[in-house]
């Protein structure tokens, strides 16, 4: 930092093998992409800046992934299945057709629910989901990998955007700002949107306030992803968090839309475009979608899953 601590001038590199060995790398601009474990908030308070407020949403997600041999005729040629977790349940999953004729099947549990890693348990867990598609894949297909498991305790949004002051020439981006519930696969997309916003931010202004301008320019992406993932998690009454009136209205609509998305490819595709961040959430309120949701609700279901909230692509 400059002696008055107003501007970042570089980074100090320390060898993990020899902490005594230190090197200072001077830089015109320092970008913190140190991920969820970034120490920028602590460094800022140590330097006399405001404390960075942290929004957290505890989801206690665990998931297990297995690869299976895929027959192109599986599920009538469908390549992606997303089984959302219904509001009164803790189990969901996803299957993606991937290279070399394989299915990547991930079973998900939230609020401490842990999918099993042994094949029999995995198949049984898939059978317990709200729709049979994943079970149809895993009960018959040959597994071609070991089970891999991961956990994710809480989504976390560090509100650098609410600071009155950031050091000049410091940019914070990616998971260092916001780490999303991985069930929705948004983290890399948001990090990429931020990277793309960086160009215009640097073209249009100087380096000094690039950090706060990038936070403003990319805020829509962080907000959309956060609202979508936290909104879905909050549908479960056991998840702690604020449920304002706007959330209640959106959630009520989504709970009507999702069963229709399961049967109606136009609504299903719109929903997937939104969770993949190819479209803004308002697309789901477009009259074209709204009318299909209302009409779709009135139509009797061909099959009646116990908790009908998946989307097929
Ligand atoms: C279990 C799990 C599953 C996920 N699945 C998906 C998915 O399907 N789709 C999706 O889009 N996103 C997914 N994500 C999110 C995605 O991984 C992150 O959003 C993305 O990796 C963020 O990129 P990043 O560069 O900001 O941070 P990271 O990828 O975390 O990279 C940070 C890097 O900085 C390094 N680093 C940290 N501190 C220092 C330091 N002091 N000095 C030097 N280096 C340092 C770290 O070693 C690391 O290499 C998942 C996340 C988790 C945890």
Q: What residues does CATH 3.30.9.30 cover in the chain?
A: 57-152
How many CB atoms within 10 Å of residue 161?
21
Write down the pTM of the prediction. 0.88
Number of the ligand 1 atom closest to the C-alpha atom of 174: 26
* Position 304 pLDDT exceeds 80: no
Taking CA atoms only, the protein residue closest to ligand 1 atom 5 is 182
Query: Parallel, antiparallel, or unpaired: how do β-strands 91-98 and 102-109 relate?
Result: antiparallel
301 pLDDT tier (thresholds 50, 70, 90): low
Residue labelled with tokens 């602590």: 42
Higher pLDDT, 289 or 300: 289
Taking CA atoms only, the protein residue closest to ligand 1 atom 51 is 182
The CATH number that domain 57-152 falls under is 3.30.9.30
With 0-12 / 13-18 / 19 or more C-beta atoms within 10 angstroms meaning exposed / middle / buried, residue 76 is exposed
pLDDT tens digits for 30-43?
999 999 999 999 99
- Of 87, 62, 115, 94, which is closest to residue 185 (Cα–Cα)? 94
SS3 for 98?
strand
pLDDT tens digits for 236-266?
999 998 898 988 998 889 889 988 998 899 9
**Best residue among 16, 31, 35 to mutate for probing ligand 1, ranked by most atoms within 8 Å of CB:** 35
Taking CA atoms only, the protein residue closest to ligand 1 atom 33 is 34
Higher pLDDT, 184 or 36: 36
Cα-to-centroid distance, 35 and ligand 1 (Å): 5
Rounded to whole angstroms, the Cα distance separating 293 from 270 reads 11
146 pLDDT tier (thresholds 50, 70, 90): very high
CB 309 within 8 A of CB 92: no
pLDDT of 299: 63
| Residue 94 parent element (H or E) | strand 91-98
Beta-bridge partner residues of 151: 62
Cα-to-centroid distance, 187 and ligand 1 (Å): 8
Q: What 8-state DSSP symbol labels residue 242?
A: -
Characterize 140-160 residue by residue with b for buried, 16 or more Cβ atoms within 10 angstroms of its Cβ, and e for exposed.
Answer: ebebeeebeeeebeebbbbeb
How many CB atoms within 10 Å of residue 80?
14
Cα-to-centroid distance, 231 and ligand 1 (Å): 23
pLDDT tens digits for 285-296?
999 999 999 998
Rounded to whole angstroms, the Cα distance separating 174 from 290 reads 33
Residues with CB under 6 A from ligand 1: 33-37, 150, 152, 174-176, 182, 185-189, 191
pLDDT of 45: 97
* Position 307 pLDDT exceeds 50: no
pLDDT of 302: 47
Q: What 8-state DSSP symbol labels residue 168?
A: B
**Best residue among 171, 182, 184 to mutate for probing ligand 1, ranked by most atoms within 8 Å of CB:** 182
Cα-to-centroid distance, 32 and ligand 1 (Å): 12
- Of 293, 277, 296, which is closest to residue 285 (Cα–Cα)? 293
Number of the ligand 1 atom closest to the C-alpha atom of 36: 30
* Position 46 pLDDT exceeds 50: yes
């Amino acid at each position: 930092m400059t002696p008055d601590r107003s501007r970042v001038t570089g980074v100090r590199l320390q060898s993990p093998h020899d902490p005594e060995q230190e090197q200072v790398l001077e830089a015109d601009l320092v970008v913190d992409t140190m991920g969820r474990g970034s120490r920028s908030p602590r460094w800022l308070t140590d330097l006399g800046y405001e404390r960075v407020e942290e929004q957290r949403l505890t989801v206690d997600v665990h998931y297990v992934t297995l690869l299976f041999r895929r027959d192109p005729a599986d599920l009538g040629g469908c390549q992606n299945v997303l089984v959302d977790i219904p509001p009164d349940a803790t189990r969901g999953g996803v299957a993606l057709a991937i290279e070399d004729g394989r299915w990547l099947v991930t079973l998900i549990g939230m609020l401490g629910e842990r999918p099993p890693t042994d094949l029999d348990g995995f198949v049984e867990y898939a059978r317990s989901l709200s729709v049979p598609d994943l079970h149809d894949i895993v009960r018959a297909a040959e597994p071609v990998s070991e089970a891999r498991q991961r956990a994710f305790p809480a989504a976390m949004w560090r509100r650098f955007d609410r600071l009155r002051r950031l050091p000049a020439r410091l940019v914070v981006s990616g998971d260092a700002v916001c780490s999303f519930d991985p069930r929705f696969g948004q983290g890399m997309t948001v990090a990429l949107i931020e990277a793309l916003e960086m160009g215009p931010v640097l073209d249009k202004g100087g380096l000094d306030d690039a950090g706060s301008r990038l936070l403003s320019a990319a805020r829509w992406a962080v907000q959309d992803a956060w609202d979508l993932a936290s909104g879905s998690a909050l549908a479960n009454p056991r998840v702690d968090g604020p449920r304002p009136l706007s959330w209640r209205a959106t959630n009520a609509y989504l709970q009507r839309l999702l069963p229709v998305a399961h049967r109606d490819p136009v609504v299903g595709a719109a929903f997937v475009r939104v969770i993949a961040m190819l479209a803004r959430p308002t697309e789901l309120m477009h009259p074209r979608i709204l009318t299909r949701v209302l009409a779709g609700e009135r139509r009797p279901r061909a099959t009646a899953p116990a908790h009908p909230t998946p989307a097929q692509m």
